[in-house]
A and B are shown apart, each in its own frame.
Chain A
């Protein structure tokens, strides 16, 4: 028994010694996305050296920010117009060229729309099975993730030589900016995508914090009845410095844009405080918010499933209660 225990320690030490991880940075407009800092934390937990790859049209400030992330030994920079829009078709050959030179054991990115689009493409080229949206790391080859809309926790052991992983940002504390990595040039090559061209982005403009970074989220559902009624949630959110989210029903009804959707197929959030207003709490919505520290539900239906996960519930008409909250805050 004791012998087996010590041999497993010896093995994990040996594994650790040979780990090296590439983190694919996500950024826009010269700002590093916080999910990258979470991915670096996950990378550190895998053991070994952490290298960050920053690709884009102009990445100086982002590369510097990445080099400061605690635990980052090296930042590789690939700059050029070919990376406009960070298309999977141009990022993938860059990562493959980098992998070819440095032979990383792990390739990691945040499980954002960017990471989810690019990493499986890289994995297929390496002929390995990627691991999506991990919430924990047991060892260099064993990962924890959720399945069935967060209703089951699956632990899997990967048998592939290179582990290609996306990381759920809310489960890994972002790395602090106290490090001092070196910045170098990434391998060069012709990474221009001949098949895909970036045309434009239409980003939802808001002064409120982003959903995945907000400490407080006020979220509305079908019960809001119209887009105009969301104004009172925006007012409340502004008083609290909160972000505004929505259920799929509210998005489908056209009350708010798609990128506010929280749930299995939208964003996954875990703020300090989540206030669900007029949201029944379908399985698919709970998947995106049930790891929030404190959940408040405001719903006139006492049978609504949201009350089963709520720390505090108000069984009341939101059109009376939310204005009252706005008044008293």
Chain B
């Protein structure tokens, strides 16, 4: 696999300082291009970033096309600095050049090849003298850029360690560099050229970063100085590892109650020791594609494969690698009567891997079971107080497994069990109705009309509950028997006054009040105990099992007076935490509501609550 990348610069930016008085012909810095093959001798050239706006400093520099050393083309003087600086006060000016490297054979096209930036800081001053220079400055740049090397490439020089401008200020010093050998590393310094050299092709899957310590030895007339600096060399990845499966390549998938578009099943994993960038999704590096191997159009129209990948380290021996995860995903709802089983094969292809084993075959063993819409042999039976108010919840009804249904639509309604009854008795049947839950496929029976509750002929009601599957028009039926018992409330005047339990602020008035939605005919009081904002705030509710439970259910949403604590959309006054979309999540003290407007406040009832001790004190007083 030749010629995929070619020449590249082991660092994207080079920087150096230049000074007034720097002489023509002196070297500034040296760039290196790493080769892939020995025949790929680099040819360097310089160009300026904005070709349309010619940089005035363009002609001050030239590059040796073979060695990559950039030299001064002229001796810099004070007017040169003024010619490029727009500000009187500027102390230094940054000059930006670009250097490119082309294979020798294509040197005419040089400017089109990969480039690196050369950033030169031009100081409005002459260079310091050797005596003014600190030893560290002679050795290493102030701020270093860590280089990188691509794996599987030719060895060769990658960086010039010598700081030409500074080292030349001290011609009598002998400056040399070493790689401090902590453990054997494939890097050495070429003593004759002061270049850092990589001695062998590297493998990223073995080691991603080499942490070197560079030593600089400065031999002056009198003594020997030693300086250290760390250098981290990153190894860049290429797609040189094939995909593989660890363990099974087959996953059993059972599709039964979840049949909705978007549902995902199964988990199959493919591993690749190469990295995959999440930043450039379009980048072809290590890009995986999958193909379904089936001609069955039903399968093609129903299923797709969902591919996700993540970078993992520990499972690849502490070097980054990629784990691809595959799931089987529905792209349309499957009808309840569908029954099939088949093996779905798909091919995963690592498209940028050049070797022979760049693909993996995976399988989903799919079984689709039909779902029957039925009620188990049960009759729903409820005994209800005659004092029940409108919207009180009687109970939940559910076709078998309805809570697990996804992508199956069920509607419920009630019918008369016996049509041969008098009109008078028929009118009893407005008492109860059923509504489909908002979040699942169960139904809720509730009191729809309280007028029949007072009539003796309406004591026992027999309904047929019909569950209706919407897509295939399947039906299931069962019997619902409701018996009313106890005395009706004779004083009741529905609709003549406000009926919201939530208006009541004290236990006494709450528990004697008949609010909307109460199944016993009396509101219920919840006593909070905490002094701060709490989910267990004090409040008055028609039924503490459903309100306030932080969820505005299908019955509560029929009328705001039933449970505004769960259902209000209005701003809440007082210390509180709002529910996610509706209602009060937590409140301070007692929360009460007038229609949708809710208030939470700590009531000053504590003085009124008088314990035995206090009563004694008052009695004796």
A and B are interacting partners: no
